[in-house]
Amino acid sequence: MDDTTVLVLATPTEPQLAMLEELPPETTIAAGNSVEAFERAAPEAGVIFNWSGSGGLLREVFGMCPGVRWVHSRAAGLDNQLFPELVASAAVLTNGSGVFSPPLGEFALAAILYFAKDLRRMIRSQQAGVWDQFDITEIFGQTAGIVGYGDIGRAVATRLRPMGMDVLALKRHGPPLYHVDPLVSRIYGPEARLEMIARCDYLVVAAPLTPETRGMIGAAEFAAMKPTAVVINIGRGPVIDEAAMVEALSAGRIKGAALDVFDNEPLAEGHPFYRLENVLLSPHCSDHTPDWLERAMRFFLDQFERFRKGEPLRNVVKKELGY
């Protein structure tokens, strides 16, 4: 491939951008966090890399680039980046799916153990200097359901199955004709989600946010849960009806929730989640390992090499579906 112009939507001083020096010398790079930063380079751009820019900025810059062939998003979630012009275009869209899945799988396991062993009570007793013996729960033999069995969902299942948990999964297209996944006992379609949810001791939500999934875990789903059930959200906040979840948690209709994502971030001061004793709250950082940004940039560099050689790109998004 001849010279390629890459527009990088990011604050130019972000340290990981130095890794772009590994791109071939004939590559032209323009980085910035405003439309003005790309006015000169946009007509020649073949690639847009949305490193940390907003969906709004991406839409404006995309409209300036008649020749763009590939758009890559550092993030896995694309709900704020799938504007109509991009969806309708011939440009290939890829994302960071899979780059951050292993630590998200570990967070789900940690959250399960947190509630099973009542670590909050242990910490509280230790701080109070109280010797407080109580019974804990064994997760061996318990059931975990995964809503959204993509790369993150499989990372969760990979960690739960060896712990002796029975793993169920909910997928958009339902169960395949021949079930061959050794990690999952059964796969359900969306129409059977209440049936699956009723069986779960832990419900791990890992679905992307699309018009189909927005609010898919709501009042009916919480009513179907066991009173001992725990909800874990590592997907996108609005997949769960937040008001219905607060009500279920406040009334003690479910045991608890471990949340890494929310409707609005950062979570507003005084939000009920801060004061609920049965909530484990992570400020959307459960995948922030010390090298998470370097890993994201390394993935783009590997992708660019594929693009340059005309090889198939990884994580090609079905734009009309949103993932």
Quickly state the pLDDT bin for 302 (edges 50, 70, 90).
very high
CB 150, CB 208: distance < 8 Å: yes
Scan for tokens 């380079």, then name that residue. Answer: 41
CB 205, CB 234: distance < 8 Å: yes
Scan for tokens 């279920």, then name that residue. Answer: 248
- Does a structural domain hold residue 83? yes
- Does a structural domain hold residue 316? no
**Phi and psi dihedrals of 45, rounded to 5?**
-70, 135
Q: What percent of the chain has pLDDT over 90?
A: 91
Q: Say which CATH number the domain at 158 has.
A: 3.40.50.720
Instruction: Give me 314's structure tokens.
Output: 């990884």
pLDDT value, residue 320? 86
Q: Domain range holding 162? A: 101-281
Q: Is the pLDDT of residue 1 over 60?
A: no
- Does a structural domain hold residue 318? no
Q: Is the pLDDT of residue 102 over 90?
A: yes
Same domain for 122 and 65: no
Q: Is the pLDDT of residue 254 over 70?
A: yes
- Catalytic (active site) residue 36: no
**Phi and psi dihedrals of 20, rounded to 5?**
-70, -10
Same domain for 270 and 182: yes
Q: What mean pLDDT do residues 177-186 have?
A: 83
Q: What mean pLDDT do residues 203-211 have?
A: 95
Catalytic residue among 284, 295, 298, 308: 284
Cα angle, residue 98 at apex, residues 199 and 256 outer, rounded to 5°: 35
Q: What mean pLDDT do residues 135-151 have?
A: 97
Q: Which residues are CB-contacts of 146 (< 8 A; sequence separation ≥ 6)?
A: 153, 156, 157, 167, 168, 169, 170, 184, 204, 206
Q: The whole model's pTM is what? A: 0.92
Per-residue buried b or exposed e for 45-84, using 16+ beta carbons within 10 Å of the residue's own CB: bbbbbbbbbebebbbbbbebbeebebbbbbbbbbbebbee
pLDDT value, residue 318? 92
pLDDT value, residue 174? 67
Give the number of domains in the chain: 2
- Does a structural domain hold residue 166? yes
pLDDT value, residue 180? 73
Same domain for 115 and 199: yes
Same domain for 194 and 95: no
Q: What mean pLDDT do residues 306-313 have?
A: 96
Using the Cα atoms of residue 54, residue 60, residue 64 and residue 70 in order, give the sign of their dihedral. Answer: positive
Q: Is the pLDDT of residue 123 over 70?
A: yes
- Catalytic (active site) residue 21: no
Scan for tokens 């507003």, then name that residue. Answer: 268
Report which of 153, 249, 251 is spatially closest to residue 259, judged by C-alpha positions.
249
pLDDT value, residue 177? 60
Quickly state the pLDDT bin for 187 (edges 50, 70, 90).
very high
Catalytic residue among 212, 265, 294, 305: 265
Radius of gyration of the chain (CA): 22
- Catalytic (active site) residue 22: no
Quickly state the pLDDT bin for 215 (edges 50, 70, 90).
very high
pLDDT value, residue 173? 76
- Does a structural domain hold residue 317? no
Torsion of CA 109, 237, 320, 87, to 10 degrees: -120
DSSP, residue by residue, 248-295: HHHTTSSSEEEES--SSSSPPTT-HHHH-TTEEE--S-TT--TTHHHH
Q: What mean pLDDT do residues 101-113 have?
A: 97
CA 130 to each of CA 114, 121, 210, 216: distance values in angstroms, whole numbers, following the listed order: 19, 11, 48, 42
Same domain for 37 and 21: yes
Same domain for 177 and 84: no
**Phi and psi dihedrals of 202, rounded to 5?**
-135, 135
Same domain for 171 and 253: yes
Same domain for 109 and 95: no
Q: Is the pLDDT of residue 161 over 70?
A: yes
Q: Which residue has the higher pLDDT, 155 or 322?
A: 155
Same domain for 272 and 153: yes
| 278-301 per-position pLDDT tens digit | 999 999 999 999 999 999 999 999
Q: What mean pLDDT do residues 146-166 have?
A: 97
Q: Is the pLDDT of residue 178 over 80?
A: no
- Does a structural domain hold residue 267? yes
Q: What mean pLDDT do residues 44-68 have?
A: 95
| 64-96 per-position pLDDT tens digit | 999 999 999 999 888 888 999 999 999 999 999
How many CA atoms, within 13 angstroms, populate the side-chain half-sphere of residue 247?
Answer: 11
Q: What mean pLDDT do residues 148-158 have?
A: 96
Quickly state the pLDDT bin for 2 (edges 50, 70, 90).
low
pLDDT value, residue 126? 98
Torsion of CA 273, 279, 283, 289, to 10 degrees: 180
